[in-house]
Structure 1
Amino acid sequence: MFLIVAPIAIPASSAVKAAAKPNVDLHKHPTGGKTPIEISVGLYITNFVAIDESRESFEVGGYLTAKWQDPRLALPAGQAADKRTEQTLTRTFRLEDLWAPAIEAANSISHKMNQYSLVADRAGFVTYIERFDAVLSNDYDLRRFPFDNQVLQFEFQPFLSTASEIRFAPQPLPSTGISPEQHTQLAAWQINDLRYTAEKVATDRFLPPAQEAVFQLVVKRRAGFYLWKIFVPLAMMTLVPVVVFWIDVEQFDWLLKVPMTMLLSMVAFEFTITRDLPRVGYVTFLDAVFLASFALCFLCVFEILTVYLLQKRGRRSTAVKVHSAGRWIYPMAYLGVILLLVVTFHT
């Protein structure tokens, strides 16, 4: 994802020549590949564009930083190419001037580098900073949707041929963080935390063992939209059939019209919102609530048919008792099912 980019014409200072020792090739690994170089990385997010669960991706912009030490670039005490370099103690390079770790994002879909800088200080510590915009793939666990938290991952790995040449530092650079500006805020999501881990990648027979640096951005969905636009209207449609339990059992036509109308309304409502919901192969919390609402209305139809047949066969008193009991059984059953789903999906 970075450090493998087309170089931009950044003029190198005269200190570049001074840094190169005789018979030293700065394009090769600092230790000749004998020992790995420790790379410290940092991620600073300045622009959070979107999270797309249906495409299993997210889009961000910000700064990537990498820092490592190249002893060949260290300056002896008192040595400087000019007075200005002596004051700043830094020298500017181009990527083709010296060795840089080949690191890429394993879950990158697209990546655009806007600008970069590559500087080395007097002690030989090299700092690479890149301004980027990227789209990355991500696995989402939507079982609790829409009351869910998600972890967005930035997975940085060394390129295959250089896997043994570098290792990631156990701690991120101090530049790691999230900008407090408005461009990192999304109406549908709340950003909670940015975590970092450096660990070995699970390997298979086709890939050499390597280490991975992972930044995890923890976000929480703002569920207000779904609560007021979906759950409340759905609950109202589901509870409308309660009115049938106050209608006489002989009025079969009127009794049946109410739940059937609500069933059709819920079907139309679900078709309307489905196109904007994530398409996953398992049941989410929202799916379960919809199924529970359909089931209650469906059972209401069977209750109406049962009490109507009872009174037609001369058992009116039994039919009236069963029908009257539905006045409290139906809403309590719906409330109980919803509470059961909340416990099941959120524990």
Structure 2
Amino acid sequence: MLQKYVRSCDRNPETVDCKNAIKVIVEINPHELRDVDDKKDEFSVVFVLRFRWLDPNLKNIETILKLKDGRELKGRIQRLDQTGKITFITEVGETKSLKREDCSAIEHERNPDWSKQFFPDFSFLNVRFTNEYPITIFERYQMEWSDAEQGSFLRWEKKYDAIFTDDLDLRRYPIDRQLCRIRITAERPVEEYQFAMSSHRLVGVRRTCESFKVDQDIQRRCTSYVRWADAEIPFKTQRSRIHVLFHLERRGGHFFKIVVPNMMFVTLMAFLAFVLPIENADGSLALTSACFLAVFAQRYIISDDLPRKTFLTLADTYFLATSLLYVMISISIAVLVLARNLGDENPENAGLAERINRKKSLCGLALFLLAIIFNIWLIGKWLRKWGLEGWAAIYLAKQEPYAMIDECQRCLSKWPGKQCLPHEIGICKVCRHESVVTRHFKTPEDMDELVPSVRQLPIP
């Protein structure tokens, strides 16, 4: 945890002490990635968010114990240990020893008064609010233990079904990878409380939608992390933040099992125009035009599922190249017809039509074989995962601050980069010379998270 930091470092530096900040231990367990909407740049996910923290001010809790035999005891909890044993002092001063399983409910757990005790207020930065979302499936608050001297160790958890927004890079569609994120921020400064991930958190996603699968190799390394805090900032305050990461890889089955074979069959049909004799040029052009319209229809079916972007996806390039091929076929047929008409005017060119038909058939056969080889290669490329973009390039493109490392090009020293400022040319922190500082966005494949996880929970 950050022990102190300097705020307003560029004007009136002031050191802020964070030693008394409450450590909030976080577990985020994604249960299901329900859908990824390419058109709206959204994804919906079901997950459980769990906070644990030690509140040193919550002692001798006044509450009502509702016992299973129907009785109610009013008083205060002096001690609650991890095994569930309760030392309870009634309002008349009588001390009773009970067990948690003897109680049907503890009123403090059912109706906590957050105005009188600490709660780690937070918010989602990229959640999409609708009339239906986000949905709270359940919410639970419980005391794990309480002590009259140390305070109380509390657990709060909530299960969400929510929609989040994130920019999807579809340039390599349909063999693309996507990094979808949930961004959570504290609503209090770091001197009051800071997040820390639990080492016992669930790694991975249990269920995913049909269009994507999780890259388990990198997902096991990091599903969520805490962004580290800066030691010096030019602002008044800073807050702790959490990022939940989903490393998704598009399955692409619909495109490569349905669209590509259909396009291949249409293209092979178009090459039949080379088989028809030159005397039947109108039939060849009619066949090519029909195939051209079929390609456009298929393209608009696919484009209906994608947002209108200024760039071309790989699927757009494939359709555009196929359409261009049909245009070239039509132009070549027109040129051959023109050559035959000009040749017929010369009596020395007897048999020109037969020679043109023979060469046209050979050319069509060669293109026919090339089209089959290309489409089979394209499907094989998808099956063998060739051409997939590396996660390092994706982290760099999205500037994901899992581990931002600045490197001095003069002395090659490295240090964590400031998150509050954009990358800029500055003075090296090690050699103290003005130099070009390069910022690297590391991935979980390169290094561990900078803020270490909590391996052991507090005990009374």
TM over 0.5: yes
Query: 270, 275, 280: which one pairs with 2:309?
Result: 280
* Distance change in 2, residues 1:205/1:302 (3 Å): farther
What is the CA-CA distance between 1:267 and the residue it aligns to?
A: 1.7
Query: How far apart in 1 are the matches of 2:80 and 2:213?
Result: 50
What is the CA-CA distance between 1:104 and the residue it aligns to?
A: 1.4
Structure 2 match to 1:260: 289
Superposition map of 1:216-227 within 5 A: 216-227=245-256
What is the CA-CA distance between 1:208 and the residue it aligns to?
A: 4.6
Query: How far apart in 2 are the matches of 1:296 and 1:201?
Result: 55
CA contact (8 A) 1:148 1:221 kept: yes
Give the SS at the match of 1:270: helix
CA contact (8 A) 1:73 1:120 kept: no
Query: 126, 135, 160: which one pairs with 2:163?
Result: 135
What do residues 17-43 of structure 1 show as CA deviations (whole Å, max 9, x unaligned)?
xxxxxxxxxxxxxxx976432222111
Structure 2 match to 1:297: 326
Give the SS at the match of 2:279: coil
Q: Which runs of 5+ in 2 are unaligned?
A: 1-16, 60-77, 89-95, 344-348, 390-460
Query: 213, 218, 221: which one pairs with 1:190?
Result: 213
CA contact (8 A) 2:36 2:209 kept: no
1:330 pairs with 2:357: no
Structure 1 match to 2:274: 245
Structure (1 or 2) with the larger CA radius of gyration: 2
Structure 1 match to 2:56: 71
Query: 121, 137, 154: which one pairs with 1:126?
Result: 154
Superposition map of 1:29-48 within 5 A: 35-48=20-33
TM-score by length of 2: 0.58
| More helix by percentage | 1
Query: How far apart in 2 are the matches of 1:232 and 1:277?
Result: 21
Superposition map of 1:161-200 within 5 A: 161-169=188-196, 171-177=197-203, 180=206, 184-193=207-216, 194=219, 195-200=223-228
What do residues 264-307 of structure 1 show as CA deviations (whole Å, max 9, x unaligned)?
12222323343233433321121111111111111111111111
What do residues 227-275 of structure 1 show as CA deviations (whole Å, max 9, x unaligned)?
2331211121122121122222232212211111111122223233432
Structure 1 match to 2:135: 112
Structure 2 match to 1:230: 259
| More strand by percentage | 2
Query: How far apart in 1 are the matches of 2:205 and 2:113?
Result: 28
Deviates more, 1:231-240 or 1:69-78: 69-78
CA contact (8 A) 2:264 2:372 kept: no
Structure 2 match to 1:99: 118
Structure 1 match to 2:66: none
Query: How far apart in 2 are the matches of 1:49 and 1:94?
Result: 35
What do residues 42-82 of structure 1 show as CA deviations (whole Å, max 9, x unaligned)?
11233443221211111222311012222334777999324
Give the SS at the match of 1:283: coil
Query: 324, 336, 339: which one pairs with 1:307?
Result: 336
Deviates more, 1:249-258 or 1:118-127: 118-127
Percent identity over paired residues: 18
Give the alignment's Cα RMSD to 1 decimal: 3.7
Query: 23, 44, 54: which one pairs with 1:59?
Result: 44
Query: How far apart in 2 are the matches of 1:240 and 1:97?
Result: 76
CA contact (8 A) 1:67 1:125 kept: yes
CA contact (8 A) 2:175 2:250 kept: yes
Give the SS at the match of 2:286: helix
CA contact (8 A) 2:19 2:191 kept: no
Give the SS at the match of 1:134: strand
Q: Which runs of 5+ in 1 are unaligned?
A: 1-31
1:80 pairs with 2:87: yes
CA contact (8 A) 1:94 1:118 kept: no
Q: How many pairs are equivalent? A: 311
CA contact (8 A) 1:146 1:226 kept: yes
TM-score by length of 1: 0.75
CA contact (8 A) 1:80 1:86 kept: no
